[in-house]
Amino acid sequence: MTTTTKQRRPLTVYKASAGSGKTFTLAVEYISLLVSDPENYRHILAVTFTNKATQEMKLRILSQLYGIANSLPGSDTYMEKVMEQTGLGAMAVRTNARQALSLLTHHYNFFRVQTIDAFFQGVLRNLAHELDLTANLRVDLNDNEVEGKAVDEMIETLDANPEVMGWVRDYINQNIEDEQGWNVIGAIKKFGQNIFKDFYKDHERELNDLLAAEGGKFFSRYTALLRSRRNTLRKQLVDPARELVALTGQCHIDYAGLYRRGLYNYIVKRSKGTLDNEPTPAGVQKALQDASLWTASKCGAADKETIKDMANNGGLRLLQEMETRREELWCEYNSCVQTLSHLSELRLLNAIAKAVEESNRNANRFMLSDTQGLLHGMIQGSDTPFLYEKIGVQLRHIMIDEFQDTSRMQWENFHLLLQESLAQKEGSLIVGDIKQSIYRWRNGDWKILAGLGNDPSFRIRECSLGTNWRSEANIIRFNNGLFTAACQVLNDRYEAEQGDPCIQLLDAYSDVCQQTARKDEKGYIKLTFLPDNKEEPYAETMLQQLAEETDALIRKGIQTKDIAILVRKNKTIPAIADYFDKHTPYRIVSDEAVR
């Protein structure tokens, strides 16, 4: 359905920091839609990122519907918000809430509060016929295990596939050059996990076409072309430095001690083929401007004159040519070097993808991670996303929680669905906070949320939830000050290097300051910067400090069940548990601690 700009209904976007009531807001919106029309339960989809969040949301919606219907005091806040949202009186709200609760419990399969994966799996099951998927297809979640077994099978059959063996050999040689050893099976398995990422899935078909191009010889020809261009560029970058070294050698003077500090070493390094794009040293920059600045202070008058003459008679020109070529050719040269270093990996990645595909076919298995890519290919170019109609309902209200962790492919799959829902009804919304983007390992892209206002498909109505209902007042003030200052420090550093402020960083942290809902001045923060030296090793000092601080908190009346110790890596936990066991009366309770 096509709508004009004036007809487009707004997409509500909540920018909500931690503890600001996102779940409350989503629940109120969901309940308000049900209260305004109890039959709406068939037309609402709310998606989250974890099963735990899904269960929490469902429980809250059902319990608050029950509380509103039965005038329970614990639901008074929800009641006020729902009345405000719907414009209905108290009696109508309670009657509709009771009816909506009855409909939900009797038609629970239409209670669509789901994880993103669960929703798209449901769509996939309804498309089994169109996708030629068998009825007994098994969905597997463990990408790494399946990929690891497929790599093992591929390695075992290398004798029958000399082409893949060549790619593996190239990969081994590359690893040896990088001083990473020859036993690369573990590295190949880790590297092969890239086949499950959105970027690879987006370009997999292009890669297959290139591998098959020119009778399978495209990559060989392209590699030879890149090597030739790399060698040409390398010669152009190195030649001026070698000519300069040869020119200085004609004067038979120990230039290592007579040149301006750093200049001689810089020229020699370039002449030996050590190429990089590091900033030109200050001494070299001065030497580029004036031949009289080539000599060191200890250089005698005669030697100074000799070096100055050499610089004026070709040396200065060669030094300037060396730097000019580096500015002009470095980017292309480095692109050739980097591309060549990854070409064998790219072909090997394609072989791993085919091995996984064959393994899945033999096991009648479908990978959960393939769902997004499969649906993405079907959606693209479709004016009406017929595949969403296959789930058996018409979705008019879409709610997406933790939107900052949405991947680019997930967003493109949802895009048409949101457009369709907004063309029919108002009430779709997105909740997210860029600062809480943590799921990059699932291809989450916070830039989608950051750039949502520039999407011409939507008319955005942005709302903020500025009050922190979870933390104590002192904690909130501390965070406000810390993250505001940290953001400014990073921006100042960025601006000093780049010349312009980091707009993305400033925008992301523009709403970092929160208001407190607490009247009492409570909350305790203590920062300790620990040394790390032979006299005071960090690990020992950290364990001692943890024990002392825990003991001090308990003496102040804090219960052990209210204390948690957070660490960066699990391997640290057994050491902490062991120290507490031997030196304190307290015990650490966790899965890792009992190992």
The DSSP H or E segment spanning 442 is none
pLDDT-based confidence at 477, cuts 50/70/90? Answer: very high
Q: Is the dihedral of CA 196, 197, 198, 202 positive or negative?
A: negative
Q: Alpha-carbon distance 248 to 311, whole Å? A: 9
Biggest CA pair distance of the chain? 104
Give the count of beta carbons closer than 10 Å to the beta carbon of residue 80. Answer: 12
Average pLDDT over residues 121-131: 72
Give the whole-angstrom CA distance, residue 210 versus residue 516.
58
Is the pLDDT higher at 440 or at 506? 506
pLDDT score for 2: 43
DSSP state of 313: I
Q: How far apart are CA 470 and CA 99, in angstroms?
A: 32
Per-residue pLDDT averaged across 483-506, rounded?
A: 92
Q: Distance of CA 69 to CAs 57, 87, 290, Å? A: 18, 17, 87
pLDDT at 391: 63
Mean pLDDT, residues 543-566: 93
Query: Among 162-171, 239-248, 348-357, which stretch is predicted with the lowest mean pLDDT?
Result: 162-171
Cα 55 to Cα 313: distance, rounded to the nearest angstrom = 80
Greater model confidence, 85 or 190: 85
Q: How confident is the model over 251-263, as a mean pLDDT? A: 61
For residues 276-286, give the mean pLDDT.
Answer: 82
pLDDT, tens digit, 9 for 90 and up, residues 451-467: 888 888 888 998 888 89
Per-residue pLDDT at 5 exceeds 80: no
Sheet strands (E) in 56-160: 113-115, 138-140
Residue 392 has pLDDT above 60, yes or no: no
| Residue 396, phi then psi, degrees to nearest 5 | -110, -15
- The whole-model pTM stands at 0.71
pLDDT in the model for residue 64: 96
* Angle, vertex CA 412, rays to CA 409 and CA 418, nearest 5: 140
Tally the C-alpha atoms within 13 A of residue 313's C-alpha that lie toward its C-beta.
10
Give me the percent of the chain exceeding a pLDDT of 70: 88
Task: Please write the tens of the pLDDT for every residue from 224-239.
Answer: 899 899 999 999 999 9
Mean pLDDT score, 106-110:
91
Tokens coding 489: 């420090």
Write the pLDDT tens digit of every residue in 132-191: 666 666 766 677 788 888 888 888 888 777 878 877 777 777 777 666 666 677 778 887
Contact at 8 Å (CB) between 191 and 349?
yes
| Helix 218-249, helix 263-271: angle, nearest 10 | 140
Instruction: Report pLDDT for 486.
Output: 94
pLDDT for position 132:
66
Q: What is the mean pLDDT of residues 542-571?
A: 92
Q: Which residue has the higher pLDDT, 387 or 402?
A: 402
pLDDT at residue 78 greater than cutoff 90: yes
- pLDDT for position 3: 43
Question: Across residues 274-295, what is the average pLDDT?
Answer: 81
Please say whether the beta carbons of 32 and 85 come within 8 A: yes
pLDDT greater than 70 at residue 348 = yes
Q: What is the mean pLDDT of residues 332-346?
A: 85
Spatial contact of 442 and 405, defined as CB atoms under 8 Å apart: yes
Q: Which whole number is the average pLDDT over 206-213?
A: 83
Q: How many helices (H) and strands (E) does the chain have?
A: 23, 10
